């Protein structure tokens, strides 16, 4: 079966399962903020009509300055990108022909970008039986063999978070063996407030590159907006290979509104924490395994069916729920499904459907 490479393609999933397209389905395959887009952005978008006839500033001076101010960084430490994907490919290009380590299962675009630029790849795998905990010693032992390590924090698809102590250990080792550490923080805004992002480490470590995305938290994936945080010298190298005007002016004009949404982010975190607690409690009662996530998605597996999740996947689709398959996540090979945290109504429907599955299998 030709599985789609990413979530958010419900019509394709319905077609693959031989189901006629339905108007009513619940898309649990895309990890977008279930609270939707802040109303102020919808209002602001109308005002951006005047931007259509203008070229964006090729250096994005004002937009970059806004992000730097928001993050407490120097402007020279920030590079605006066309979503996280452009950032990943720009970084891979910088290491053309060298060696990379990817900690799997994780976002597939790291591997894809590395292959485009002919990096020699090696992998370490998070073990389900160890709750996908980070294998620090194994990574440290491998670092001398590679030029760059790709990490996702919080990790997609497990929702787990590499501990700050472990990140510092990697950076210290990388400083000694000249290895760059790339940390994708695309879902950082969903984490509980007590878990720090890593931008404060940029001043201390020249071998750290951070990736950020604004499309997940604000539910604007079509607008493609992200940025890279690194030392000025690294930002300058990356910028040389960036195509002109890669980010459109309509998107950059929304930044002043986006970067004033602290109350919206806090509301999201509070709401998500409550929903996750309810979901985890019910899944435990139903005897499902779920990854120890701290964000808006998680891996799910029926503990009574260890080798496959195909039947469960099909059952959910037949009940108008679109999960995310895991066939293209190395180390998972379709044995789990990934589910987003959606609205309270949708989450309730999902749990009711899983209850039906459990009753059917008992």
Task: Indicate if 230 and 277 belong to the same structural domain.
Answer: no
DSSP label at 117? Answer: T
Task: Indicate if 235 and 96 belong to the same structural domain.
Answer: yes
Parent domain of 32: 10-37+263-361
pLDDT digits (tens, 9 = 90+) for 297-311: 999 999 887 677 888
Task: Indicate if 215 and 296 belong to the same structural domain.
Answer: no
Task: Indicate if 280 and 182 belong to the same structural domain.
Answer: no
Check if the beta carbon of residue 312 is closer than 8 Å to that of residue 337. yes
The secondary structure element, H or E, covering residue 12 is helix 10-16
Cα first-last separation, the chain: 29
The answer as to whether 4 is a domain residue is: no
What pLDDT shows up at residue 7? Answer: 44
Q: What is the CATH number of the domain that holds 144?
A: 3.40.640.10
| CA nearest neighbour of 216 among 191, 198, 253 | 191
The answer as to whether 209 is a domain residue is: yes
Measured in whole angstroms, the distance separating CA 111 from the mean position of its chain's CA atoms is: 14
Higher pLDDT, 359 or 279: 279
Residue whose token pair is 């808006």: 296
| CA nearest neighbour of 157 among 334, 2, 357, 9 | 334
Task: Indicate if 229 and 322 belong to the same structural domain.
Answer: no
Task: Indicate if 30 and 52 belong to the same structural domain.
Answer: no
The answer as to whether 309 is a domain residue is: yes
Check if the beta carbon of residue 61 is closer than 8 Å to that of residue 39. no
Among the three residues 214, 234, 258, which one is the final residue of a domain in this structure? 258
Overall number of domains in the chain: 2
Check if the beta carbon of residue 146 is closer than 8 Å to that of residue 181. no
| CA nearest neighbour of 215 among 227, 200, 202 | 227
What pLDDT shows up at residue 10? Answer: 55
Peptide bond into 154 cis (omega under 30): yes
The answer as to whether 332 is a domain residue is: yes
Among the three residues 258, 275, 308, which one is the final residue of a domain in this structure? 258
Task: Indicate if 274 and 191 belong to the same structural domain.
Answer: no
Q: What is the CATH number of the domain that holds 320?
A: 3.90.1150.10
Q: What SS3 class is residue 350?
A: helix
pLDDT digits (tens, 9 = 90+) for 240-268: 999 998 988 888 888 888 888 899 999 99
Task: Indicate if 334 and 307 belong to the same structural domain.
Answer: yes
Q: Does 169 score more than 80 pLDDT?
A: yes
């Amino acid at each position: 079966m030709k599985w789609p490479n990413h979530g958010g393609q419900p019509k394709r999933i319905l077609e693959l399962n031989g189901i006629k397209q339905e108007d009513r389905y619940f898309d649990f395959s895309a990890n977008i903020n279930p609270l939707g887009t802040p109303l102020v952005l919808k209002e602001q978008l109308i005002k951006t009509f005047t931007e259509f006839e203008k070229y964006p500033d090729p250096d994005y001076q004002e937009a970059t300055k806004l992000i730097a101010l928001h993050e407490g960084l120097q402007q020279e430490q920030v590079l605006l990108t066309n979503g996280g994907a452009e950032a990943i490919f720009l970084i891979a290009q910088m290491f053309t022909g060298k060696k990379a380590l990817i900690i799997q299962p994780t976002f597939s675009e790291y591997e894809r970008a590395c292959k485009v630029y002919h990096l020699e790849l090696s992998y370490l795998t998070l073990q389900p039986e160890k709750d996908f905990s980070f294998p620090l010693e194994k990574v440290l032992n491998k670092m001398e063999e590679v030029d760059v390590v790709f990490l996702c924090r919080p990790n997609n698809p497990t929702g787990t978070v590499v501990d700050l102590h472990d990140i510092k250990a990697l950076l210290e080792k990388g400083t000694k063996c000249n290895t760059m550490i790339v940390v994708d923080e695309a879902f950082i805004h969903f984490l509980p407030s007590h878990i720090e992002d890593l931008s404060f480490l940029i001043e201390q470590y020249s071998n750290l590159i951070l990736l950020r995305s604004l499309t997940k938290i604000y539910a604007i994936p079509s607008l493609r907006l992200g940025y890279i945080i690194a030392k000025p010298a690294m930002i300058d190298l990356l910028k040389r290979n960036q195509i002109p005007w890669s980010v459109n002016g309509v998107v950059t004009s929304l930044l002043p509104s986006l970067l004033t949404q602290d109350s919206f982010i806090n509301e999201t975190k509070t709401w998500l924490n409550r929903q996750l607690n309810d979901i985890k409690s019910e899944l435990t009662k139903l005897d499902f395994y779920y990854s120890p996530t701290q964000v808006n998605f998680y891996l799910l597996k029926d503990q009574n069916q260890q080798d496959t999740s195909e039947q469960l996947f099909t059952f959910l689709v037949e009940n108008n729920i679109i999960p995310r398959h895991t066939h293209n996540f190395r180390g998972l090979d379709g044995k789990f499904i990934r589910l987003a945290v959606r609205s309270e109504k949708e989450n309730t429907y999902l749990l009711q459907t899983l209850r039906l599955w459990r009753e059917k299998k008992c």
